[in-house]
Structure 1
């Protein structure tokens, strides 16, 4: 017993300001994460010292891992409508950037929002999905974490990717090539273009499935989330075992912006003006090349995850 007490004291000294999360009843905890075991509960039960109001910073229970220009910000904002969700506002890039990762889990914990014990903490960084090193690092932090991956038609994602970079240059009064100049090389599709490579979903998914089973990952249909967000958010709620709080009245179509905005407790809010920008029009022959190129990669992805999307 004395040796055990000494061990506990040494552990507390090493963790500094991190203390154990108050014990949750098995019934309440397992209703949120039905497949975790006692070892994993202990592994993910660290938090910063509580504030007097009962809130603390917890390591994330949920990660939105990508994909870039797939609708991650919209998904995070919609998920935040739920009272049991506490979301980190900024992209932390903890797992994909070496300088951030070297700071350790205590630093990562300090970046989390303050939340109540009944809330689930979520962080989103779209770059996680396409990074080679992130899946293993996330697994080492929490092997039972829930992962949300939002994807769009790969061609739409390519054009959205281009649009963002184009406007980023424009805001800095810098020139940027026309989309055709980047998509084509010697009259053939430029498969070295990063925006195209990021849309080869099966390659990155294979890496994630080395560490996480499909039951840990929910793939959100980004195209459907844009067109009709409520049904998609119902599915997300069910995957996370959240009580059904998000409802159709939380969404309204903004004709000026051309996409759905949110209504929460009588307050209306829309995504930043940088969202929903019109994509460049490309010539039919180039669109055909993109469709031909992504046909097989899309099929491989569908086979990998056991479901299909309207991309073929």
Structure 2
């Protein structure tokens, strides 16, 4: 038995505990947003659960850095993105790019990014984009998240002009649930910019749905348009080869992330790395967290405890069916373009 290792583990745990107590007493953090003891679930009874996005990303980078060795004489340089997550918001884009960064051969800029027009090598926008990219080594993929790009008409041509060999990933969610999630967030935050639109509050949802199913397509609010995927996919397929576009279904990613990431590895042409040892399912919240590497105890690190809201708008079943029927023709067309079907219309 290695008593030195056991002693070191207890010392580390002691310092960690003292640090948490100090931060809580000093007001530096709120205890219940950083750490929660497992509740009644048998699957979680032996786990410590940390809810903190900063610590989550630190755990991700620990895994990434511990498994990457720089080749001799290789240089870390800034380049234009090799891969862009083009959408769709409220479908899991944040989790997708964060968790992708676990892979030693993927570096990412997780904050949403917007190109300002064309990207010719002679203009200032080209230089600005490169300056803001993380540096990468020669065997790494540089990835950014731009989760409105699937719907923006001008983006396929602009991206192609920037890098015709770029890889594109879209994660998509059942249209009605994506829309409700978007509306819930906007209503919760009381964003006054939408005050006079049908998404202003949660009291008149029935009227807003009736408004939605009768509004002309060209006048759709952006939150509705983001749940329509066929036009965006068609625009990208006209510009890029099909093997440059990967479409991920949100629920598949939510419940079987390793299966999805194996497809991402093949799509990007990088070595197999993702495994179940990196992820732990948090049954209290219904999503996967990251297993903290080299922890002396079983510890998972998750997004904030507010992630995965349970207070979504309550919508009458008849109104839900109206929304589903509204999106049905566009969803069927999306399936046809994609050559695959998801279990969205049943």
Q: CA deviation at 1:97?
A: 10
Q: Aligned partners of 1:264 and 1:301: how far apart in 2? A: 39
How has the CA–CA distance of structure 1 residues 299 and 284 changed in structure 2, closer, same or farther, with 3 Å as cutoff?
same
Q: Aligned partners of 2:273 and 2:212: how far apart in 1? A: 51
Partner in structure 1 of residue 263 of structure 2 = 235
How has the CA–CA distance of structure 1 residues 182 and 119 changed in structure 2, closer, same or farther, with 3 Å as cutoff?
farther
Cα displacement string for residues 243-295 of structure 1 (whole angstroms, at most 9, x for unaligned residues): 11110111111233321112253474323455311332210110110111121
Partner in structure 1 of residue 208 of structure 2 = 183
Aligned length in residues: 257
Partner in structure 1 of residue 325 of structure 2 = 292
Q: Which has the higher contact order (CA 8 A, sep 6+)?
A: 2
How has the CA–CA distance of structure 1 residues 187 and 311 changed in structure 2, closer, same or farther, with 3 Å as cutoff?
closer
Cα contact 1:234–1:244 (8 A) shared by 2: yes
SS in 2 for 1:210: helix
Partner in structure 1 of residue 87 of structure 2 = 66
TM (norm. structure 2) is 0.68
Cα contact 1:95–1:137 (8 A) shared by 2: no
Choose the corresponding residue for 2:339, options 285, 306, 310: 306
Q: How does 1:124-273 map to 2 (within 5 A)?
A: 124-169=145-190, 176-178=200-202, 180=205, 183-185=208-210, 192-263=220-291, 265-266=293-294, 268-273=300-305
Q: Aligned partners of 1:247 and 1:64: how far apart in 2? A: 22
Give every structure 1 segment of 4 or more consecutive aligned residues whose post-TM-superposition deviation is greater than 6 Å.
none
Cα displacement string for residues 132-162 of structure 1 (whole angstroms, at most 9, x for unaligned residues): 1111000001111110110011111111111
In structure 1, stretches of 5+ residues that fail to align are 1-51
Q: CA deviation at 1:176?
A: 4.0
How has the CA–CA distance of structure 1 residues 79 and 96 changed in structure 2, closer, same or farther, with 3 Å as cutoff?
farther
Q: Aligned partners of 1:109 and 1:165: how far apart in 2? A: 33
- State the structure with more CA Rg: 2
Q: CA deviation at 1:164?
A: 2.0
